[in-house]
Amino acid sequence: MGALRELKKRFSEALRGFVDEPETYLNQLRRSGAPQFGDYQANLAMPLAKQLRKSPQEVARTLLDRVKLDDLCQSVNVAGPGFINLRLHDRWLAEELAHAVVDPRLGVPQVAEPRTCVVDYSAPNIAKPMHVGHIRSTVIGDCLCRMLRFVGHRVISDNHIGDWGTQFGMLIYGWRHFADPIAYQRDPLAELGRIYRHVNQLAEQDPQVAQKVLEETARLHAGDPENVALWREFVPRCLAELDALYRRLGVQFDYTLGESFYHDRLPDLVDELLQRGIARESEGAICIFLDGFEAPMIIRKKDGAFLYATTDLATLVYRVNTWHPDCILYVVDHRQSLHFRQLFTAANLLGYKALQLEHVSFGTILGEDGRPFRTRAGDTVALEDLLEEAVRRAREVVDANDDAKPDGPELSEVDRARVAEVVGIGALKYADLSQNRTSDYVFSFDKMLAMTGNTGTYMQYAYARVRSIFAKAGLNADSLRQEGAAILLTTPEERALALELTRFDEAIELALTDWRPNQLTAYLFDLANKYSAFYENCPVLKAESPALRQSRLLLCDLTARTIQKGLELLGIGVVEKM
Ligand code: ARG
């Protein structure tokens, strides 16, 4: 189960009957910031001392008298103003790993109380090609789904695509005025893309065109048969393009219920909100006035049109009634934070008080010039082009690496192409997931494909390197696991690696605490570094004894599986050779 979880359990038992609300102190237990003093530290004596009006040292000592740690910790001591330093028993670590070795879940337990989580992510406005701005939501959302599922929650992923907005007004207007039917027949998406860009540009320069676009959109919303027919013609084309991208990214959704799905529900929703006194009329518009906000949330404009907020309210009601979630995550960029704060406040008025609503927001991807990432010509970068470029550059890395192998290249042409795809897409995803999600970050192909440092390429390389030991020795890792054996921790490097291996569970929990995949990438990077130190200092195949060799092979195997599983939770693949 992981040391931190076990320590929390022990301390919570010790705190019971000692203080009120013991749970509030447990997050003072954490991984040690100074490994020379211990593996974990408990900083709860200070806050407890305040509550109990005693000295922290005294509280720490009383606490240590009450907590049962002898089977878990080798040494426990109180330092400075009452920090408790805890060092785990080697025996405990070894036993923990012996379990993890034969456990398909690698020692990560399932949650005791599974929750139902809806995850709203990706959600591009279709009709224009997906661009670089869509990476973050897609990749972060997918990773959160994977982690939540792995620990045992029920996850519903829902792609709330924008399939009903002005972008369709543009296509419809453009279709009527500038369509090239032959080009459309040849390549519908390219032609739609051209029309979209053309009209978008015109509308920016010419208010009359912008007006016409709005009128076409309004006609679509009013059910005008011709506009609806055109919409029906265009939507599947746009979806096909999206699907191809998602397939390449390895991202899947349980549902794709876009804005259009909710259109028919909006009038009734507004009526209901009026009836319940949650919304009221103001200057011809229907508004929800929310405490703590300057402006009300408008849900129907004076001209009768509904808004983004109206659709999101209808979506929320639908999700609650359909899936009964405990939690809904909205993985959407930080510019929409006001919208979500309003939406969540409105949800409270609707009576959804127990529902956890989270805006998992994120920053902008910047170019090397520190401005939002764009092409040289100043256009947004199409996601497809970005993937192509990542894979093309990954291919260069793979070629160079394979050509430089001391015994000559190992990979066929087909292998190289397959590896480049996994490495290129992996690098792109990892570069995003390893960022603090709330910050902006600078996009750089060179950095993300570097073979050293905290990159996806380095992690994939670390995996392949571990696996090559088994290939070299002609060993089957599966049968090794079944044989089992004692884990022997004879050197500091073995111990450090072992400790890191027991922390996988902790890393996932940390990543899920406030939805930060970079907690998982940081963990994997630490693990790979601990492995490197181990590998440099501890001969594996040439270990001094058969028992030590077996133990070290098991450490290698568990490292490889943990990296593989960790990358899988990030949505990233591995290769056996690269
Ligand atoms: N389509 C929206 C956009 O591109 C994002 C939708 C996010 N999800 C939501 N429920 N509002 O800005």
Is the CB of residue 160 below 6 angstroms from any atom belonging to ligand 1? Answer: yes
Helix ranges (H only) for 187-334 are: 188-205, 207-221, 225-249, 259-262, 266-275, 308-323
Q: Which of 185, 212, 234 is the last residue of a domain?
A: 234
SS3 40: strand
Domain limit, last residue, from 51, 72, 88: 88
User: What is the rounded distance in angstroms from the CA atom of residue 425 to the CA atom of residue 135?
Assistant: 11
Query: CA-CA distance, 210 to 434, in Å (whole number)?
Result: 40
Q: What is the pLDDT of residue 133?
A: 85
| pLDDT value at residue 16 | 87
- The H or E element containing residue 457 is helix 456-473
DSSP code at position 406: T
Which of 458, 433, 437, 438 is CA-nearest to residue 447? 458
312 C-alpha to ligand 1 centroid (Å): 9
Q: Which range marks the domain in which residue 215 is found? A: 162-234
Number of domains in the chain: 2
* Dihedral class, residue 332 (left if φ above 0, else alpha if ψ from -120 to 50, else beta): beta
| Measured distance CA(534)–CA(521) in Å, rounded | 20
Q: Would 309 be classed as within a structural domain? A: no
Inside any domain, residue 315: no
Rounded to whole angstroms, the Cα distance separating 69 from 88 reads 9
In a domain, 429, yes or no: no
> What's the order of all strands across the beta sheet hosting 297-300?
280-282, 285-288, 297-300
Residue whose CA is closest, atom 11 of ligand 1?
312
- Give residue 218's identity as a one-letter amino acid code: A
CA of 527 to the centre of ligand 1 (A): 36
Beta pairing, strands 73-79 & 83-88: antiparallel
Q: 254 C-alpha vs ligand 1 centroid, how far in Å?
A: 17
Instruction: Please indicate whether residue 108, judged by its CB atom, sits closer than 6 Å to ligand 1.
Output: no
- Rounded CA-CA distance 52/72 in Å is 27
Dist. CA 160 → ligand 1 center (Å): 6
pLDDT value of residue 237: 92
**Domain-embedded: residue 456:** no
Asked if residue 166 belongs to a domain, the reply is: yes
DSSP code per residue over 113-181: S--EEEEE----BTTS--BGGGHHHHHHHHHHHHHHHHTT-EEEEE---B-SSHHHHHHHHHHHHH--H
pLDDT at 481: 85
Atom of ligand 1 nearest to the CA of 315: 10
Q: Which contacts qualify for 280-288: CB closer than 8 Å, 24 or more apart?
A: 288/346, 288/349
In Å, the largest CA–CA distance within the chain is: 85
Report if residue 505 sits inside a domain.
Answer: no
Q: Atom 6, ligand 1: which residue's CA is nearest?
A: 123
Note the pLDDT of residue 545.
96
Residue 387 lies in a domain: no
The identity of residue 318, as a single letter, is Y
* Confidence (pLDDT) at 93: 96
Domain containing residue 37: CATH number: 3.30.1360.70
Nearest in space to 103 (alpha carbons), one of 504, 567, 494: 504
Question: Do the Cβ atoms of 38 and 85 come closer than 8 Å?
Answer: yes
pLDDT of 388 reads 96
Q: What is the pLDDT of residue 415?
A: 97
pLDDT tens sequence for the chain (578 residues): 789 999 999 999 999 888 888 888 998 999 998 888 999 999 999 888 888 888 999 999 989 999 999 999 999 999 888 899 999 999 999 999 999 999 999 999 999 999 999 999 999 999 888 888 899 999 999 999 999 999 999 999 999 999 998 999 999 999 999 999 999 999 998 899 999 999 999 999 999 999 999 999 999 999 999 999 999 999 999 999 899 999 999 999 999 999 999 999 999 999 999 999 999 999 999 999 999 999 999 999 998 999 999 999 999 999 999 999 999 999 999 999 999 999 999 999 999 999 999 999 999 999 988 888 988 778 888 899 999 999 999 999 999 999 999 999 999 999 999 999 999 999 999 999 999 999 999 999 999 999 999 999 999 999 999 999 999 999 998 888 877 779 999 999 999 999 999 999 999 999 999 999 999 999 999 999 999 999 999 999 999 999 999 999 999 999 999 999 999 999 999 999 99
pLDDT at 478: 87
User: Terminal CA-to-CA distance of the chain, rounded, Å?
Assistant: 33
Residue type, 109: P
Residue 322: phi, psi to the nearest 5? -90, -45
CA distance 321 to 488: 54
Ligand 1 atom showing the smallest separation from residue 161 Cα: 1
Atom of ligand 1 minimally distant from the CA of 332? 7
> In angstroms, what is the span from residue 311 Cα to ligand 1's centroid?
10
Report the residue among 118, 120, 159, 160 best suited for mutation to probe ligand 1: largest number of ligand atoms under 8 A from its CB.
160
Distance 161 CA to ligand 1 centre (A): 7
Give the pLDDT score at 485: 78
Contact criterion met (CB below 8 Å) for 439 and 517: no
Sheet holding 40-42, edge to edge: 29-31, 40-42, 83-88, 73-79
Q: Could you tell me if the CB of 330 is within 6 A of ligand 1?
A: yes
- Using DSSP, state whether 73 is helix, strand or coil: strand
| Cα 443 to ligand 1 centroid, rounded to whole Å | 23
Q: How far apart are CA 557 and CA 299, in angstroms?
A: 56
Residue with tokens 């400075």: 80
Residue 175 lies in a domain: yes
Is residue 500 lining ligand 1, measured as CB closer than 6 Å? no
